[in-house]
Amino acid sequence: MPKIKMWSTLIVFLVLCSFKVECYNVLGIFPHFGKSHFDIFAPVMKGLAEKGHDVTVLSYFPQKSPMKNYKDYTLKLNNSALSMGDMIAFDQLPGIRMQRYLEPYILGIFGKEACEFALFSTPVQQILDSKKKFDVIIAEAFNTDCFLGLAHKLKAPIMQISSSTILTWFNPRFGQPMNPSYISSCFMGFSDKMTFLERLENTIVVGLHTMYYNLYLLPKYNSAAKKRFGKDLPSLKKIGNNVSMIMINSHWSISRPKPLSPAFIEISGVHMPKLKKLPLNIEKWINESKDGVIYFSMGSMIKGHTFPEHKKQAFLRAFGRLKQRVLWKWENDTMPGKPDNVMIQKWMPQFDILCHPNVKGFVSHGGLLGTTEAVHCGVPVVVMPQFGDQHTNARALEAGGGGIVLDFHNIEEDTVYRALKTILDPEFNKKAKQLSERFRDRPMPPLETAIYWIEYVARHKGADHMRTAAVNMPFYQYLLLDVIAFLILALAFTIFIVYHTIRITCGMCCKKTQKVKKS
Ligand SMILES: *[C@@H]1O[C@H](CO)[C@@H](O)[C@H](O)[C@H]1NC(C)=O
Ligand SMILES: *[C@@H]1O[C@H](CO)[C@@H](O)[C@H](O)[C@H]1NC(C)=O
Ligand SMILES: *[C@@H]1O[C@H](CO)[C@@H](O)[C@H](O)[C@H]1NC(C)=O
Ligand SMILES: *[C@@H]1O[C@H](CO)[C@@H](O)[C@H](O)[C@H]1NC(C)=O
């Protein structure tokens, strides 16, 4: 009997994987409840399953229909107040600068849910109990590291994945340069060319946020992880510095160029599905517009009907002055004062709409998914960033020629009209199309890139060899503070010696001359 079982297992194995490719057991750990994050991770995990790897996923988002090679362990939110993270109202966003400084504090609140509740939940225990041997573990790099404890317990090489550009405090772990002179904090919304004051603000914010994470949040996560996995668990910082690689939802064409450590893999575009046919009514609306169509959506997280009335009217009046038709993603059945060239609908297939050749503009909140889709399709964007990384996405898009930023406080009929006129200009459209070509021109499509590096880490049982020496260097050595201090001392010493030599020599000279004078 055992022999037959062995043979049948072997046959299944050979059928599932082609002969050349090895099958790996991959675990995905995604303990954040934001759906837009999982929209980046799901295609990667599904892509692995489709290639024949055995995929296990711990998340809040189980597959709706079962998928071959894909097993879900589903987390449930304890603090139901947090589910408002899916849908927020405009008046919950103060829109003040302070909000950008406090982002890590808000992320810390989400991290609390992950570390104090999800970490102790049944699905985590079930994964440990399954005694499954994983070849590689992929953990989300976002607000917390406490799930690295689980990854460590399972004794497999760890990779991380981020649904946004990298959060400041993860840079050192990958030896990734984070020079604030030209790399904006993901929350600040600067482009890569900053004025003196912007560089000053950016430097202070990057420093304070990194300190806040390492000195305030990380110790809390550490004690949660030790409580869950035992006192002998190495510190999360140690486990973190041992992570092989990080896959980032960015690309230099969208997020501005910067030097990348070999352990830093850009996979922007990984979430883009195949284009589907548009619903008939939408396609007809787009087809029949002689001058093109503008698509308006504030994403899935902000409730449309809370859009301030005055600002909504400004948009409606500006739209009324345009020849173009407008598609507005709007959650209510009616919109009073809507001109004839505006069509509202509760749900719209955003990506398919943006890639329709007759769509000439996009009004957006600067969420990274929508921004990436617009760049991919070559549609210029008017961005009204609200929170999180949106300010930085917006500035980077503007710097790349893919859109312009419209300050939410400045929304009036005229500013809106001028912004729309700007992106509808054929010259602007040409720049967006060029950006799209640069975005798509890559050695390997993003999903294949992600899968390649996951298989790479599994194949080589980790990628220690790709970590730069910067990772485990004390910060004073990394910043050369000791060398600078030594050079300053050496210079001071030299000046001291030279000064005194001159003084003594002079003194002798002077004495001689005095003697000569006296005599
Ligand atoms: C949520 O967490 C609290 C303590 O953090 C606990 O008392 C409560 O039982 C949890 N709720 C559920 C539904 O498990
Ligand atoms: C670092 O990773 C290697 C394999 O990738 C593992 O053998 C080692 O135990 C890890 N060390 C820590 C502190 O996690
Ligand atoms: C829209 O135009 C395209 C291309 O001209 C055509 O293939 C499609 O059938 C049209 N759809 C509708 C609903 O008119
Ligand atoms: C729009 O719909 C939401 C619920 O989806 C409701 O709370 C709100 O009152 C509606 N607003 C208007 C103006 O109908």
Q: Return the ∠ at Cα 366 (arms to 216 and 278), rounded to 5°.
A: 135
Share in percent of the chain as helix, strand, coil (round to 5)? 50, 10, 35
284 Cβ below 6 A of ligand 3? yes
Range of lowest pLDDT (379-388, 496-505, 506-515): 506-515
The rounded distance, in Å, linking the Cα atoms of 437 and 373 is 13
Whether the CB-CB separation of 392 and 165 falls below 8 Å is answered with yes
Average pLDDT over residues 346-361: 94
332 Cβ below 6 A of ligand 3? no
Nearest CA to ligand 1 atom 14: 78
The rounded distance, in Å, linking the Cα atoms of 69 and 46 is 9
Residue 462: count other Cβ atoms within 10 Å of its Cβ: 18
User: What pLDDT is stored for residue 1 in this prediction?
Assistant: 46
Average pLDDT over residues 381-385: 94
Kind of pairing between the strands at 70-74 and 54-59: parallel
Given a cut of 80, whether residue 95 has pLDDT beyond it is no
- How many Cα atoms within 13 Å fall on the side-chain side of residue 464? 6
User: What pLDDT is stored for residue 13 in this prediction?
Assistant: 53
Cα 54 to ligand 3 centre (Å): 41
Alpha-carbon separation of residue 158 from 27, 150, 235, 516 (angstroms): 10, 11, 15, 82
Cα 334 to ligand 4 centre (Å): 9
User: What pLDDT is stored for residue 110 in this prediction?
Assistant: 86
Given a cut of 60, whether residue 350 has pLDDT beyond it is yes
Average pLDDT over residues 466-474: 92
Cα 490 to ligand 4 centre (Å): 71
Sheet of 293-296, strands arranged across = 342-345, 325-329, 293-296, 359-364, 381-383, 403-405
Residue whose pair of structure tokens reads 């922007």 in the numeric block = 268
Which atom of ligand 2 lies at the shortest distance from residue 158's CA?
5
Given a cut of 50, whether residue 91 has pLDDT beyond it is yes
Q: pLDDT by residue (tens digit) across 121-150?
A: 999 999 999 999 999 999 999 999 999 999
Range of lowest pLDDT (53-57, 190-194, 305-309, 438-442): 305-309
Given a cut of 80, whether residue 151 has pLDDT beyond it is yes
Using pLDDT thresholds of 50, 70 and 90, give the confidence band for residue 63.
Answer: very high
| Beta strand segments in 107-182, E | 136-140, 158-162
Using pLDDT thresholds of 50, 70 and 90, give the confidence band for residue 388.
Answer: confident
User: What pLDDT is stored for residue 53 in this prediction?
Assistant: 97
The rounded distance, in Å, linking the Cα atoms of 114 and 265 is 26
Give backbone dihedrals phi and psi of 58, rounded to 5 degrees, phi first.
Answer: -105, 115
User: What pLDDT is stored for residue 79 in this prediction?
Assistant: 73
- Percent of the chain exceeding pLDDT 70 equals 91
User: What pLDDT is stored for residue 103 in this prediction?
Assistant: 86
Closest CA to 496 of 507, 488, 508, 485: 488
pTM for this prediction = 0.87
Reading the block at residue 94, the tokens are 């103060």
User: What pLDDT is stored for residue 89 in this prediction?
Assistant: 65
**What amino acid is encoded at 354 in this protein?**
L
Tell me which DSSP letter residue 288 carries.
Answer: T
Q: Which residues face 381 on adjacent strands?
A: 362, 403
The rounded distance, in Å, linking the Cα atoms of 481 and 277 is 59
- Percent of the chain exceeding pLDDT 90 equals 72
Alpha-carbon separation of residue 420 from 207, 240, 326, 426, 492 (angstroms): 37, 45, 12, 12, 60
Reading the block at residue 240, the tokens are 């973190």
Ligand nearest to the CA of 358: 3
- What's the whole-number average pLDDT of the chain? 90
Give backbone dihedrals phi and psi of 455, rounded to 5 degrees, phi first.
Answer: -65, -35
**C-alpha of 72 from chain center:** 24
Whether the CB-CB separation of 230 and 149 falls below 8 Å is answered with no
Residue whose pair of structure tokens reads 């912007």 in the numeric block = 198
Cα 400 to ligand 2 centre (Å): 40
Coil, strand or helix: which one is 476?
Answer: helix
Average pLDDT over residues 85-95: 62
Cα 78 to ligand 1 centre (Å): 6
Whether the CB-CB separation of 393 and 367 falls below 8 Å is answered with yes
Residue ranges lining ligand 2, Cβ < 6 Å? 152, 157, 234, 238-239, 242, 462
Residues 6+ apart with CB under 8 A from 37: 30, 140, 142, 163
Average pLDDT over residues 326-333: 88
Residue whose pair of structure tokens reads 């010696």 in the numeric block = 497
The rounded distance, in Å, linking the Cα atoms of 22 and 314 is 58
Residue 310: count other Cβ atoms within 10 Å of its Cβ: 9
Q: pLDDT by residue (tens digit) across 219-278?
A: 999 999 999 999 999 999 999 999 999 999 999 998 889 999 999 999 999 999 889 999
Residue ranges lining ligand 4, Cβ < 6 Å? 305, 331-332
Which atom of ligand 3 lies at the shortest distance from residue 280's CA?
13
